């Protein structure tokens, strides 16, 4: 067996343990009784240590040296590149840190589930201080090894090749034009009349509606399922994808669009190349590319006039007894394109959403780079919310800095992925419409042409290409944020 084949076999062994960890993580978030958290956290920390041990075994040094001298195909070279990247990252971090961060993250996230509802910043902060400390330690170790800033080192684990410098330029540009566009749209919509959901929308009926929409989006139920959790997410593995949403019986629009969003993540996972299963080259390219799929489904398709035709029909079918005017195409279209300056990121419309992301990016960047302390976060959050959206979160932690799950386990560097993903999604759609009658396909109820384009250009590529190579091959150019701005202006002003 060649050194390269040994590396692939070893990677697949690691992948099997990660598979178990992913399903355990889903269970912990979706169905595990609260009393099981301590034992589960310890088991998952032990598993993370075991995986880390496999990733750092001494013989890998020799295997990589030999594999680099072997005759490899272009795809094999890409696989070797991604194998080496993961190996180098793993070798930077000591085992004790990996275990400690896993334990601290599980403890903080589990307590956060109740602390957020109770607006208990003091209780949350006691757990979070350890997560921040260990994350900074991780960031510093990676920074020293790579020559990057601590935050750029963390960012690189989610968005390989992206830097603070490029994000600052990108987001500063958005901050120049976004506030004015938001105000224009708010003024335009101020005189619009629409019907808000009223009454009770039973959870079971919402779930049945969601399942119908997932079928329309061609989710493979033989390799995945829908459940409920405190925070919507997509987890599991490509052969067994688990998505969740959260329901409020006061209305149905948020949970439904949450399902559309997570189905986008899931279809990407289900569409990754089976031939590269268990290898890093067969994984999603980056979190920005992953979010581009969920946001393509949610924003580009899900809120389009053509798709809302289906939502109107299906919602009317499942919620009989309510005012039928609520489920008219015109009303649902207004509901799903309604712009409002709100507190909650996951409930935000696509126009104000970038402001929520930029706020978090600026805070986590400075937190990891040591420019601010974790105790500064509530005040900074309040200042930035007032500056970007005109809202105060003073003493309102549950709708402010405690609202997201990402920071509870130290996922610093993830938030930029959301707005990068929205920009990529707009770029895909603009190019796709040049070769496909997208609206016609959506209206027909057979979205296969749309999914075939995504499969051919994004899903089937896994991580064989760099992010820039992937986007350029699919669209003819690297990220161009103008497509995103054009999309927003077209949808909300014309």
Measured CA to CA, the distance from residue 259 to residue 297 in angstroms comes to 10
Structure-block tokens of residue 84: 């080496």
pLDDT score, position 347 = 86
Measured CA to CA, the distance from residue 318 to residue 379 in angstroms comes to 44
For range 215-230, the mean pLDDT: 96
- Band the pLDDT of 230: cuts 50, 70, 90: confident
pLDDT score, position 23 = 96
Pairing state of beta strands 224-228 and 240-245? parallel
pLDDT tens digits for 293-324? 999 999 999 999 999 999 999 999 999 989 89
Q: Is 224 helix (H, G, I), strand (E, B) or coil?
A: strand
pLDDT score, position 152 = 98
pLDDT tens digits for 396-427? 999 999 999 999 999 999 999 999 999 999 99
Measured CA to CA, the distance from residue 338 to residue 308 in angstroms comes to 14
Measured CA to CA, the distance from residue 348 to residue 299 in angstroms comes to 12
**Length of the chain counted residue by residue:** 494
- DSSP 8-state class, residue 196: -
pLDDT score, position 346 = 86
Q: What share of the chain is helix, strand, coil (3-state, %, to 5)?
A: 70, 5, 25
Contact 128, 374 (CB under 8 A): yes
Q: Residues 121, 126, 132, CA angle at the centre, nearest 5°?
A: 100
User: Residue 460 CB: number of other CB atoms within 10 A?
Assistant: 15
Contact 275, 246 (CB under 8 A): no
User: Residue 199 CB: number of other CB atoms within 10 A?
Assistant: 12
Percent of the chain with pLDDT over 70: 100
pLDDT tens digits for 366-381? 999 999 999 999 999 9
Q: For every residue of 331-391, which 3-state class applies, written as one string?
A: HHHHHHCCCCCCCCHHHCCCCCHHHHHHHHHHHHHHHHCCCCCHHHHHHHHHHHHHHHHCC
Instruction: Clarify whether 298 is annotated catalytic.
Output: no
pLDDT tens digits for 59-87? 999 999 999 999 999 999 999 999 999 99
Contact 293, 458 (CB under 8 A): yes
Structure-block tokens of residue 123: 């209780």
Measured CA to CA, the distance from residue 290 to residue 458 in angstroms comes to 10
Spot the catalytic one: 82, 159, 262, 291: 262
Q: What are the chain's domains?
A: 3-147 (no CATH), 148-494 (1.10.1370.30)
pLDDT score, position 428 = 98
Please tell me the pTM assigned to this model. Answer: 0.94
């Amino acid at each position: 067996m060649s050194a390269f084949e040994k590396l692939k076999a070893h990677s697949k062994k690691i992948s099997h343990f990660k598979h178990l960890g992913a399903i355990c993580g889903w269970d912990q978030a979706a169905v595990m009784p609260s009393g099981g958290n301590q034992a589960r956290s310890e088991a998952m920390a032990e598993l993370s240590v075991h995986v880390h041990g496999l990733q750092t075994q001494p013989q890998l040094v020799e295997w990589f040296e030999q594999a680099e001298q072997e005759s490899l195909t272009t795809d094999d070279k890409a696989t070797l590149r991604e194998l080496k990247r993961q190996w180098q990252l793993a070798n930077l971090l000591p085992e004790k840190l990996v275990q400690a961060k896993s334990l601290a993250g599980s403890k903080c996230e589990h307590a956060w589930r109740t602390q957020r509802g109770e607006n208990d910043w003091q209780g949350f902060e006691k757990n979070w201080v350890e997560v921040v400390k260990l994350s900074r330690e991780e960031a510093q170790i990676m920074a020293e090894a790579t020559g990057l800033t601590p935050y750029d080192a963390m960012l690189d684990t989610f968005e390989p090749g992206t830097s603070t410098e490029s994000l600052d330029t990108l987001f500063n540009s958005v901050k120049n034009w976004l506030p004015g566009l938001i105000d224009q749209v708010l003024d335009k919509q101020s005189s619009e009349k629409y019907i808000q959901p009223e009454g009770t929308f039973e959870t079971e009926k919402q779930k049945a509606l969601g399942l119908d929409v997932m079928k329309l989006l061609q989710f493979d139920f033989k390799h995945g399922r829908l459940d409920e959790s405190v925070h919507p997410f997509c987890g599991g593995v490509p052969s067994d994808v688990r998505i969740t949403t959260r329901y409020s019986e006061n209305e149905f629009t948020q949970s439904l669009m949450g399902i559309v969003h997570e189905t986008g993540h899931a279809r990407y996972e289900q569409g990754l190349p089976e031939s590269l299963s268990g290898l890093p080259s067969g994984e999603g390219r980056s979190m920005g590319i992953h979010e581009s799929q969920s946001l393509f489904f949610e924003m580009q398709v899900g809120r389009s006039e053509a798709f809302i035709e289906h939502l109107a029909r299906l919602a009317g079918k499942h919620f009989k007894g309510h005012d039928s005017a609520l489920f008219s195409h015109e009303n649902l279209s207004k509901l799903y394109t309604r712009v409002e300056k709100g507190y909650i990121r996951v409930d935000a419309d696509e126009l104000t959403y970038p402001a929520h992301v930029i706020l978090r990016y600026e805070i986590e960047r400075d937190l990891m780079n040591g420019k601010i302390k974790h105790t500064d976060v509530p005040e900074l959050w309040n200042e930035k919310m007032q500056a970007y959206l005109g809202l105060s979160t003073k003493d309102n932690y549950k709708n402010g800095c405690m609202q997201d799950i990402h920071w509870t386990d130290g996922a610093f560097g993830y938030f930029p992925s959301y707005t990068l993903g929205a920009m990529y999604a707009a770029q895909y759609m603009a190019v796709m419409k040049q070769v496909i009658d997208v609206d016609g396909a959506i209206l027909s109820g057979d979205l296969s042409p749309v999914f075939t384009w995504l499969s051919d250009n994004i899903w089937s590529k896994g991580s064989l290409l760099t992010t820039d190579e992937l986007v350029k091959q699919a669209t003819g150019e690297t990220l161009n944020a103008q497509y995103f701005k054009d999309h927003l202006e077209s949808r909300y002003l014309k």
